[in-house]
Structure 1
């Protein structure tokens, strides 16, 4: 599976989700490659913090913020079960390349009345890409949610009838995720029995099970 996490709106927790998805797939015994295709290099910064702490590498990672991404990915997948692409925060030629490289696109959105509809340009690009890749699938994923709030309930209601659909699994706004980004660790390492760790497992499991 090659999955790209993309959203033209910044601050939706895209890199946190990408790192945790790669880590969860690796924890399940899969060989995983994470491609940091964001020129800001936040995932690479996380990996450097992990390296400085002397922690074992959970998955392979490279920086590849180039518009030729879709042409280079096939040469990187030998022996790899899953590729996770952390894309840039704006719609650019690099986003188009990430879409062409991917088999699935995840669009992280916060439970805000505006977040899902802020992805209109990205959705247009996805429709365009399906002209060349009809098997390309996409899903919204609710991220940085505050449980049992009206905003979350409203967001679920709004996304119930949209195309592409949203995953049933959602990920909360939790302090442990901020600690993960600062420490080079993942939620299952810092708090293995936490709600955050269980949410990531549910998110990865659904992604593997969901059809086109």
Structure 2
């Protein structure tokens, strides 16, 4: 399965989710490759930091910030159970290529008013990609949610009847994500079974239940 994390808006946590989703699947014994399609190269920086710390490599990280991504990703997918694409903000050509490569598009959004998450440009690109790949699935993911906030609940309720719909698993605004990233770690590698790790495990399980991908039944 090829999963692309995309949003025209920066700062919504795409890289954090991409790394930790890849890490969770790798922890389960899956063969995983993460494609860093963001020209900023944050996932590649994380991988380098991990190497400097002498930590074991859980999954491969490949830089492919170019609009031929949709032609190159399938080759990588032949030797992987999961490909995770960390997409770029506001680079239309790259985003189109990532959309064409994907089986599933995850759109991370933070609890915010309607115009904060419903990017007309993002949804237009998604509709355009479905002309070429009508089976392309997409879901919103509520990320960086404050615990039990009214805004998070209202955003989830607003997205419930939206197309694309929102996944049931929400990811909290947690210090553990930043603490792990600073040392090239994943939240699943932190001591004490932090809530962040349980949320990522729940998110991967929900994605798996969608039954998507080229090898899915």
Match for residue 116 of structure 2?
Answer: 115
Which runs of at least 4 in structure 1 moved beyond 3 Å after TM superposition? none
List runs of 5+ in structure 2 lacking aligned partners.
213-217
Say if 1:191 and 1:197, in contact at 8 Å, map to a contact too.
Answer: no
Query: What is aligned with 1:11?
Result: 11
The whole-number CA distance in structure 2 between the counterparts of 1:65 and 1:147 is 35
Q: Does residue 1:191 correspond to 2:191, yes or no?
A: yes
Cα distance between partner residues in 2 of 1:156 and 1:19? 24
Identify the residue that residue 181 of structure 2 maps to in structure 1: 181
The two structures have a TM-score, normalised by structure 2, of 0.94
Ranges in structure 1 where 5+ consecutive residues have no aligned partner = none
Deviations 1:117-165 (A, max 9, x none): 2x22111111111111011000000000011111111111111111000
User: 1:11, 1:180 → 2: CA distance?
Assistant: 17
1:79: how far off?
2.1
Of 149-158 and 43-52, the range deviating more from structure 2: 149-158
1:180 CA displacement: 1.6
Instruction: Tell whether 2:100 aligns with 1:63.
Output: no
**1:91–1:121 contact (8 Å) kept in structure 2:** no
Number of positions where the alignment pairs a residue of Structure 1 with one of Structure 2: 211
SS in 2 for 1:56: coil
Matches of 2:79 and 2:151, distance apart in 1:
42
Output aligned runs, 1:1-212, within 5 Å. Answer: 1-113=1-113, 114-117=115-118, 119-210=119-210
Give the CA deviation at 1:192: 4.9
- How far residue 78 of structure 1 moved from its aligned partner, in angstroms, is 2.4
The offset of 1:191, in angstroms, is 3.5
